[in-house]
Amino acid sequence: MTGPTRGQQRALVLLALLSVVLITVDARGDSFAGLRSAARSVLDPAQDGVTTLVAPVGRFVGGLGDLNDSRRRIDELEAQNAELRRRLREGELTGARAEELRRLALLAGQGQFSVVPATVTGLGPALGFEWAVTVDAGRRDGIRPDMTVVNADGLVGRVKDVTDSSAVVVLAVDPGSSVGVRLAGRRVHVRRRPAGRRGDRGVRRPGRAGPGGDRPAVRRLQLAGPGRRAGRRAAHRPPRPAGADGAGNAEPERDPHPGRDADPERDAVRTGTAPGVAVAVAVLVAVVLQSSVLARLPLPGGPPSLVLVLVVAVGLAGGASAGLATGFAAGLLTDLLSAHPVGLLALGFALAGFVAGLLEADVERTVLLPMVVVGLAALTVGLAYLAVLGLLGRQSADGISALPATVAYDVMLTPFVVPLVAAAGRKLAPARR
């Protein structure tokens, strides 16, 4: 860790004082309403576009935690649906039954005879091979053998066998069936033998639609030299003083890359606006992703702070000055898009980027140090944020309970963000000291 220069110290003090002034002014009144509105009007289109693109992904991720609840809910709905279908079938059957009984009562009134209502409970031959059905009325209901069975559409058959609670009815379509009828006040028995299946006309078979029945529910060292002999001669030569030729004259400095033409533009240190523009674009992208994606994820605890991780990564890769400037700008933009006083996160992010830049960590060779730095930065900034809000008489929506989750999420983002920022820093400013 290296100490800051005087210029860095002056910049740090100046930005810290500016942040305190901004916090004080904004805490006394909404003095930055115009700046907040301008910042939102610039970033809102980008946020809306990103939200539209990632909304399906967000809904998918959000639904992963509700898979068990959704399965239970689906099972409950399926059970309710089955129950409603059963009730609907029962209602339809009850309605059909009521209509059948009404018509049967009308038929009984016209024929001046008593009727015992019954329902088919079984199909198929119960005795021998007759066409027969079983009904739920028996001896205790007054049913006797050889009684005629009718429905509202006409003749059904004849009772052949009776128990206490059921009776077997041989249908009229059976070739060997016979029924009794009443004609003109006299009771006569008519032997009826339908030929084959022609007698089915006008009689409803059990389980078929039509008159006369019910439907049942059923992942070397490179040696330089012209050759072996020259190498042997060179081995016996006395060492030549550095910077002198064989005659003792001063020897000009050799080009470390012989055979390549000198290019002042190529060999010069890359300075200018490219690194600054890249950092500004990265900050804007991080702010948009923070508000449009990360803040909407249904994660337990508080959301991760991608902007803070980016600030620490810029400090580790670019030094204290870069971390200080990036932290202040990113924090100020986040303040303008939030409801807390302006300058609060600007001060916290600036201090985090400045301290990270003083460490001069080689992020390519170590992974643990950036993660520790990000974790400490997230914890410190979070505690300072809550403390300042408390001094101002305000409260955070999540409070200190969401801070451990936020710190953990920031540490998880570190292996993805810090190496990417370091690689971009090497490409844009390879000769930075």
pLDDT below 50 — which residues of the chain? 184, 186-236, 242-244, 246, 248, 250-251, 255-257, 259-271, 430-433
Asked which of 138, 165, 200 is the last residue of a domain, the reply is 200
CA separation (Å) from 273 to 248, 277, 278, 285, 353?
47, 6, 9, 18, 20
Encoding tokens for residue 265?
């533009």
Are 403 and 289 found together in one domain?
Answer: yes
Are 18 and 103 found together in one domain?
Answer: no
Are 26 and 89 found together in one domain?
Answer: no
List the domain range (segments joined by +) for residue 406: 6-31+274-428
- Is residue 220 one of the residues assigned to a domain? no
Alpha-carbon torsion (365, 371, 374, 376), positive or negative:
negative
Q: What is the pLDDT at residue 407?
A: 92
Are 18 and 107 found together in one domain?
Answer: no
- Is residue 164 one of the residues assigned to a domain? yes
Are 287 and 174 found together in one domain?
Answer: no
Q: Which of these, 270, 253, 283, lies nearest to 425 by C-alpha position?
A: 270
- Is residue 73 one of the residues assigned to a domain? no
Are 124 and 191 found together in one domain?
Answer: yes
DSSP 29-89: S-TTHHHHHHHHHHHHHHHHHHHHHHHHHHHHHHHHTTHHHHHHHHHHHHHHHHHHHHHHH
Are 417 and 278 found together in one domain?
Answer: yes
Q: What is the pLDDT at residue 394?
A: 80
Are 14 and 121 found together in one domain?
Answer: no
Q: Which of these, 93, 113, 232, 121, lies nearest to 181 by C-alpha position?
A: 113
- Is residue 269 one of the residues assigned to a domain? no
Q: What is the CATH number of the domain that holds 284?
A: 1.10.1760.20
Give the count of domains, the chain.
2
- Is residue 69 one of the residues assigned to a domain? no
Q: What is the pLDDT at residue 353?
A: 93
- Is residue 146 one of the residues assigned to a domain? yes
- Is residue 433 one of the residues assigned to a domain? no
Asked whether the beta carbons of 386 and 396 are under 8 A apart, the reply is yes
Asked which of 183, 200, 217 is the last residue of a domain, the reply is 200
Q: What is the CATH number of the domain that holds 172?
A: 2.40.10.340
> How far apart are the C-alpha atoms of 430 and 433, rounded to whole Å?
9
Q: Locate all alpha helices (DSSP H) within 197-297, ordered by sequence.
A: 228-235, 264-267, 274-292
* Residue 190 host element (H or E): strand 186-190
Q: How many CA atoms lie within 13 A of 210 on its CB side?
A: 10
Asked which of 166, 200, 234 is the last residue of a domain, the reply is 200
* Residue 372 host element (H or E): helix 368-391
- Is residue 392 one of the residues assigned to a domain? yes
